[in-house]
Structure 1
Amino acid sequence: MGPLDLPDPVTLRPGAPPVDAAALEAALRARVDGEVRFDAGSRAAYSTDASNFRQTPIGVVVPRTPEAAAEAVAVAREFGAPVLSRGGGTSLAGQCTNTAVVLDWSKYCNRVESVNEEARTCVVQPGIVLDELNRHLAPTGLRFGPEPATHADCTIGGMIGNNSCGATAQATGKVVDNIARLEVLLYDGTRFWCGETSDEEYAGIERRGDPRAAVYRALRALRETYGDEIRRRFPDIPRRVSGYNLDSLLPEHGFDVAGLLVGSESTLVTVLRAELELVPVVKERTLVVLGFDRVDRAADAVPDILPYEPMALEGVDSHLIRDERLKHLNPRAIAELPEGHAFLMVQFGGDTVEDADERAHRILARTVRRLAGHLRAGGLVVGLEPSCTAVFRADAGELFPGDHDVRRLRGQTVTLAELLTEHSPGYAPPRVPGSRALAQVHCHQHAVLGWDADRELLRRAGVDAERLESGCCGLAGNFGFERGHLEVSRACADRVLLPRLRETEAETAVLADGFSCRTQIHEFDSGGHEAVHLAELLASALPGAPDGGYGTRPAPPGRTAKALALAGTGLAVGAAVGLLRRPARRTRRVLAPMP
């Protein structure tokens, strides 16, 4: 690659005197139709955005029109002052802060100037908030596709600066994929509309010989010189939003100058207006939330989900949920989360609820399809966690009543005790030392799975097991961790379970196959007892097992992490032995309409 003769970047001259802020303020007040704010309070307010960064601006201009903003840029240029455009202030990396004249577009420059329903486009000023735009467009049945998490506050200009995408990127792509044209202003005062440029249009621009022609000529030379390198080295990542979009200049992308400028963060041009490409509003939506034990496994599942064409896909880990809990945000939504420490929110859409639900059921059926060959060959699926196992034995049949593989799954899903007592000829369990245990039977064992096989297996292992008549332990999935439920949860546990444990000898084992039951026993005063799973109790009697113990467990999670793991039960059995490469977690349909 050789050097390319490009214009020098606009920089402050070495040794240039500082900007005369007082004279600049006076000139702006005299020439700009808008609010000019150079007071200390305004400068402090505009020194931050949604990040931890802080840079105090020279001053702030709130233009009433795009033309007023262009005049503000002209005044700033005369004084050698940098200019920064600011939208909703939602940036997370300091993009909305600089020692510059800050143009706040959001107060006045927020109009929808035109809508072309037939072409599915609209022209807007950069200060309009995304949700406001989509509300304005609602009667047309159209909307702007990209939807960042800050859609209630972010402006279209800010989205153009960031090349935003959000959860809907799977269906509608990034902002660069949804821009028809931009009206832009260079720092030197050059102003023009830009977008995709055919060879004929380029020739016409170049013939003019003006500053715009010089810009296009330099960009064309950059493309010709580095085009092959751009194709070879630009990351092929659907949500690549960092750096300049040099690939927009390639012939296969139509020499799209607007595409190049999207994501440039106010470093190249000031955007005065934007012509946006719109998409039809999806009439009905269904949300499926998938739970995973680790965030990397959630990421690994994405390629398997994409063929089902989700309209939105977003990942959330336990740290974000923890922070929301600490701030008491969205308690009802958090209570709907499935079991896990990382989550994928997968949204499907259609013209009717049935269309959207059908797409959701397709992904729910994926687990069954994965198990189909094993099931058709007569294989068993072993579940260790009662709530997850109960879904395969009961709920799955209600979701897919006519599916023969689901029927096989229901009939061929067994508990550990059923596997060892009914499907393992010749198996004899090891004799368990201590030989006395109290059993807290999980609610799903009571209601769906039964406990007779567990009782028989314990008898064969020489364990004198007493089944507590305690009913629900009180945690009830996520119930006990929700605000206002502590006393009810404790009262349930104090009715039978906890008093019985406190009066029981330390040598007596406490059995609880349910994670929620074990958590409740750990959290409250159980006389020093810790509950173990049936598998742990049997493993303690195997050769080489630690004396007087059940092996080493990972450190228990904190209260918030436990709440996450208890937030629901599983549609797919996470404890399926050796059948899936990744443990599948609960998938639950949550009706959560998005704006």
Structure 2
Amino acid sequence: MTVTRRSSRESLLAEDLRSAVRGRVRFDTSSKAMWSADASNYRHVPIGVVQPVDIDDVEAVVDVTRRHGVPLLPRGASTSIGGQAVNEAVIVDFSRHMTRVLEIDPDARTARVQPGVVLDDLREAARPYGLTFGPDPSTHNRCTLGGMIANNACGSHSVAWGKTVDNVRSLEVLLADGTRMGAGRTPDLPAAMARPGREGAIYRELAALRDRYEGLVRDELLGHGMTRRVSGYNLDELLDDHGFDLARALVGTEGTCATILEATVDLVESPPARALCVLGFPDAYIAADHVMPIREHHPLTIEGMDTGVIGALRASRPDERTHEQLPEGKGWLYVETGGADRAEATAKAEAIGREMARYGASVKVVSEPTAQRALWKIREDGSGIVTRSPDGGEAWPGWEDAAVPPAQMGAYLREFDALLGKHGRRGAYYGHFGDGCLHVRIDFDLLTRPGLANFRAFLTDAADLVAAHGGSVSGEHGDGQARAELLARTYSPQLLEAFGAFKDAWDPEGRMNPRRVVDPAPMDEDLKVFVGVPTIGPRTELAYTDDRGSFTRASRRCIGVAKCISDSGGYMCPSYRVTGEEAHSTRGRARMLFEMASGQLVPDGWRSTEVRDALDLCLSCKACQRDCPVGVDMATYKAEFLSQHYAGRAHKRPRSHWSMGHLPRWLRLATAVPGLPRVANALARRPALANVAKRLGGIAPQRDIPTLAPKPLRRLVDARRAHADSTKPRVLLWPDTFTAAFDPELALDAIAVLEHLGYRVELPDGQVCCGLTWHTTGQLDTARAVARRSLDVVKPWLDDGVPVVGLEPSCTAALRQDVVELLGPDDEDAVRLEKSTRTLAEVLAQHTDELRAQVTTTTKAVAQIHCHQYAAMGFDADRSVLDALGVDVRVLDEGCCGLAGNFGFEDGHYEVSTACAERGLMPAVRAADPDTAVLADGFSCRTQIRQLENAGHEPVHLAHVAARALGLRSGTRAPAASASG
């Protein structure tokens, strides 16, 4: 009965909101699941979600929720680590529509913004004036200004430009009772107190609060050398010498007092040039000991990290080598300097380096922007990387960003590590050492009651340690549910009473984000891992080698870092970038899978249609595997889900699973008889027949059926000649389905180049396939059988230790990753195939000097990296080979081409597929000069370009480029590769 009444009340509330608001009102199960978590440990299912389009909408939401008496939570990008962005409330999500920079005033050095504007968008708008917004958390390409103001965010440059509170000029806010008012410095307090209505009452109550608690505020909130005190409320901003500044007093209130409608913020001059001095020390303690003398140089930032970050990086990304550029040490400081030009910035960095070298530090100064970005990426991805330890263990926030006076940072670190040991915990840390702020992820056991008891005991002891150093339990991310309970261990009861009076002045009914900061919820309740214990069975189809064999463990990888909701840079997440819908982000899908595993919001497990629909627009591009700091691999999870979802219900599968999932079989039939490819091509060009075929196969009607090569690879290669010279090094060319049937000439070019370099190129003596098309469509039993048969075919080469060379990136990535996931890490042949597989570029990269000596011409190219190559192999080898071949290449950073194997061909996906391509790839291709090559190794990428291009560019493979540069292409000659070795 209670559930029925609650459901009825929610229905009435939703109906009233939909009638009053033009933006989207979401009370469906999927939305509740996706908005139930932030980047913290906590889970709270919201009443519903509203995405207002303007201020009128926000006022309507506040009015309706006031009449219904329900809590309200304004929210930005939901990257909060303290749990303040989740609650049993109506969430007002500003990240969808209210996202504009309204005005830049370069003379006043201010910007007026809506609360949902992304920080990087504000910085880009200010860039033409040489200005920027100073605070810059590592989530800068997705966090919103409203969220930054709510949490008093800081970032790495707070040494130079302070916290968000130091950079807010004024706010326009809306109270829970509907009162709308401006907030800022108060030049005439008596006049403000005399204003009518709630506005005047607020000034009177806050003035009385200030008068009552002023001495306490000065004693507990000011002084001690603290630069990163973010806990509690900014009552010091009510002091006369701070201008009785209500805007700054509201910064850091975490949505507990008012809803931000607009903000005017200060901008600072951005140095035209920057340099980075990286200092290596024997350990992080000694690194922290040297913060104070570095601060005297007035750098822009002083960041620190220890070896735990590097260990986690190496474990999650074995091919990542950027950390090798760090100077010798086990603890590092990143010190950034700025100047009018590179020389000035570099000189400042070198001066710091010289001084620190006298203290025994190893020094590296970097002034080239690309090299700086590579080094910074290690630090910026730290929050995600350290959530998994090198041995696969899980680590969690909870004690995330406490801060102490910078002068005490070294002593605090030593005592903190001792505290970890006392409680049997381990943690890898990094942070804003220049401001005494430490970020750490700890291997808490959040799955058992004894583990939760240890969690609470550690946090209370850690709070006492910080209090002993005169610090703050939060130095950046606010209190939320994670730390608000700990305020009682760092502040007096009287100051906590003052915090309560401050909230009451703004929100007397207590409806704004309740039980955060004031009257807090317990920090060891509502932990999403504990309340989300899996209910689905442990049996899975894939091995989950990086998650100790557990799908549910994999489903916990997403911690809400939200890199997947960025609008540019990297490849993740293509469908989100097109639709802007949370459901189509990696984070949104991961939360649906988590809820499915726990069986609460999504009770029907693998049969869930909500999860199926959330995964429908996942391109299986694997970009999240590389770009997500915690290594979420949604392509693998989707394959598992589809397999389980359709288990025993093959008749329910989409038609495209039968047409494109079984594509290798259909192509084998279509190319089995000489002349048959020409017949198939002719039939495909007849619109009536093609339309019938596409309709039967579940293929988008807008798509052209790719043209089969007149002769497949097997008939083009002269398999009759066996190589007599057994002294040449052998390589086995993997004749993947796409290359063999559609583009066999690129295989001929690859063979020619490899033979030219002295290799004996062999082909398998039987049919092989990686099983990718079956894997992608979740037909894992078939994929497993196909992979097993292929391993049997190539086993003789594996036994002989012969490298396997792949030409199609998606198939090569499958050999490097998916085959082991299908067959398990105990399958020796699968593991040997993984270790033996090379890309063509990786082989050619061993001959760059030889290639460079033979190439006399230079060319230009734009390159589209295939998503699977980006995720599994990277592009470093390709860069070095292209450089040796005299190719001046511009590598596109525009994300997935959008075709993504079967995805872009499936009916219902065409619009999203082409929109992905039109975001950057296709404009870059069309803008390329006629003599600029378009390099796309992936068959999907080449097909997308061919079907959307209208400027005459025919995309080419690296094999074509290499053969042409070496003068090996004749267009008719078939290399004499051995089919049997």
Q: Does 1:230 align with 2:179?
A: no
Q: Does 1:163 align with 2:152?
A: yes
Partners of 2:287 and 2:304 within 8 A in 1? yes
Pairwise mapping of residues 200-211 of structure 1 onto structure 2 (< 5 A)? 200=188, 202-211=189-198
Q: Secondary structure at the match of 2:290?
A: helix
Partners of 1:85 and 1:103 within 8 A in 2? yes
Partners of 2:59 and 2:174 within 8 A in 1? yes
- Give the match for residue 95 of structure 2: 106
- Give the match for residue 337 of structure 1: 326
Instruction: Measure, in 1, the Cα distance between the counterparts of 2:326 and 2:74.
Output: 39
Q: Secondary structure at the match of 2:142?
A: coil
Instruction: Measure, in 1, the Cα distance between the counterparts of 2:318 and 2:336.
Output: 22
Shift of 1:218: 0.8
Q: Secondary structure at the match of 2:311?
A: helix
Instruction: Measure, in 1, the Cα distance between the counterparts of 2:251 and 2:176.
Output: 17
Q: Does 1:325 align with 2:314?
A: yes
Shift of 1:323: 2.2
Instruction: Measure, in 2, the Cα distance between the counterparts of 1:219 and 1:111.
Output: 32
Shift of 1:316: 1.5
Partners of 2:193 and 2:203 within 8 A in 1? yes
Q: 1:94 to 1:105 in 2, by over 3 A?
A: same
Partners of 1:324 and 1:330 within 8 A in 2? no
Partners of 2:26 and 2:48 within 8 A in 1? yes
- Give the match for residue 68 of structure 1: 57
Higher relative contact order (CA 8 A, sep 6+): 1
Q: Secondary structure at the match of 1:20?
A: helix
Q: 1:36 aligned to 20, 25, 37, which one?
A: 25
Pairwise mapping of residues 542-581 of structure 1 onto structure 2 (< 5 A)? none
Shift of 1:369: 5.5
Instruction: Measure, in 2, the Cα distance between the counterparts of 1:370 and 1:101.
Output: 55
Partners of 2:222 and 2:236 within 8 A in 1? no
- Give the match for residue 131 of structure 1: 120
Q: 1:245 to 1:19 in 2, by over 3 A?
A: farther
Q: 1:333 to 1:69 in 2, by over 3 A?
A: farther
- Give the match for residue 218 of structure 1: 205
Question: Residues 534-593 of structure 1: CA distance to partner in whole angstroms, max 9, x if unpaired?
Answer: xxxxxxxxxxxxxxxxxxxxxxxxxxxxxxxxxxxxxxxxxxxxxxxxxxxxxxxxxxxx
- Give the match for residue 685 of structure 2: none
Partners of 1:183 and 1:192 within 8 A in 2? yes
Q: 1:54 to 1:208 in 2, by over 3 A?
A: same
Partners of 1:66 and 1:273 within 8 A in 2? no
Shift of 1:330: 9.0
- Give the match for residue 601 of structure 2: none
TM-score (norm 1): 0.58
- Give the match for residue 412 of structure 1: none
Partner AA of 1:132 in structure 2: D
Shift of 1:164: 0.5
Partner AA of 2:72 in structure 1: V
Question: Residues 355-413 of structure 1: CA distance to partner in whole angstroms, max 9, x if unpaired?
Answer: 11111111112146669xxxxxxxxxxxxxxx97xx9xxx99xxxxxxxxxxxxxxxxx
Q: Which moved more, 1:262-271 or 1:86-95?
A: 86-95
Structure number having the greater strand percentage: 1
Pairwise mapping of residues 51-450 of structure 1 onto structure 2 (< 5 A)? 51-198=40-187, 200=188, 202-234=189-221, 236=223, 237-328=226-317, 331-367=320-356
Q: 1:130 to 1:251 in 2, by over 3 A?
A: same
Instruction: Measure, in 1, the Cα distance between the counterparts of 2:308 and 2:196.
Output: 56
Question: Matched residues, percent identical?
Answer: 43
Partner AA of 1:208 in structure 2: R
Instruction: Measure, in 2, the Cα distance between the counterparts of 1:40 and 1:273.
Output: 31
Q: 1:179 to 1:361 in 2, by over 3 A?
A: same
Shift of 1:23: 0.5
Instruction: Measure, in 1, the Cα distance between the counterparts of 2:176 and 2:233.
Output: 18
Instruction: Measure, in 2, the Cα distance between the counterparts of 1:358 and 1:313.
Output: 17
Instruction: Measure, in 1, the Cα distance between the counterparts of 2:319 and 2:160.
Output: 26
Question: Residues 244-267 of structure 1: CA distance to partner in whole angstroms, max 9, x if unpaired?
Answer: 011111111111111111000000
Q: Secondary structure at the match of 2:277?
A: strand
Q: 1:204 to 1:235 in 2, by over 3 A?
A: closer
Instruction: Measure, in 1, the Cα distance between the counterparts of 2:42 and 2:348.
Output: 43
Q: Secondary structure at the match of 1:203?
A: helix
Partners of 2:192 and 2:200 within 8 A in 1? yes
Instruction: Measure, in 2, the Cα distance between the counterparts of 1:309 and 1:285.
Output: 13
Instruction: Measure, in 1, the Cα distance between the counterparts of 2:56 and 2:351.
Output: 52
Question: Residues 454-473 of structure 1: CA distance to partner in whole angstroms, max 9, x if unpaired?
Answer: xxxxxxxxxxxxxxxxxxxx
Question: Residues 168-192 of structure 1: CA distance to partner in whole angstroms, max 9, x if unpaired?
Answer: 0011100000000001111111111
Partners of 1:66 and 1:125 within 8 A in 2? no
Q: Which moved more, 1:80-89 or 1:55-64?
A: 80-89
Instruction: Measure, in 2, the Cα distance between the counterparts of 1:330 and 1:164.
Output: 33
Partner AA of 2:209 in structure 1: L
Shift of 1:208: 2.2
Partner AA of 1:183 in structure 2: E
Instruction: Measure, in 2, the Cα distance between the counterparts of 1:162 and 1:19.
Output: 34
Q: 1:19 to 1:297 in 2, by over 3 A?
A: farther
Shift of 1:335: 1.9
Question: Residues 215-249 of structure 1: CA distance to partner in whole angstroms, max 9, x if unpaired?
Answer: 11111111111111111121531111111011111
Q: Secondary structure at the match of 1:225?
A: helix
Instruction: Measure, in 2, the Cα distance between the counterparts of 1:252 and 1:333.
Output: 48
CA RMSD, Structure 1 to Structure 2 (Å)? 2.2
Shift of 1:18: 9.0
Q: Secondary structure at the match of 2:49?
A: strand
- Give the match for residue 568 of structure 2: none
Partners of 2:279 and 2:327 within 8 A in 1? yes
Instruction: Measure, in 1, the Cα distance between the counterparts of 2:318 and 2:163.
Output: 28
Partner AA of 2:199 in structure 1: R
Instruction: Measure, in 1, the Cα distance between the counterparts of 2:38 and 2:243.
Output: 35
Question: Residues 31-77 of structure 1: CA distance to partner in whole angstroms, max 9, x if unpaired?
Answer: 01200000000110000112221111000000001221121111111
Q: Secondary structure at the match of 1:348?
A: strand
Partner AA of 2:44 in structure 1: Q
Instruction: Measure, in 2, the Cα distance between the counterparts of 1:35 and 1:120.
Output: 35
Instruction: Measure, in 1, the Cα distance between the counterparts of 2:252 and 2:263.
Output: 14
Shift of 1:282: 1.3
Question: Residues 437-463 of structure 1: CA distance to partner in whole angstroms, max 9, x if unpaired?
Answer: xxxxxxxxxxxxxxxxxxxxxxxxxxx
Instruction: Measure, in 2, the Cα distance between the counterparts of 1:277 and 1:262.
Output: 14
Shift of 1:132: 1.2
Q: Secondary structure at the match of 1:296?
A: helix
Shift of 1:322: 2.2
> Can you give the 5+ residue segments of structure 2 that lack an aligned partner in the other structure?
366-981
Partners of 2:275 and 2:346 within 8 A in 1? yes
Kindly name which structure, 1 or 2, has the bigger radius of gyration based on alpha carbons.
Answer: 1
Q: 1:19 to 1:261 in 2, by over 3 A?
A: farther
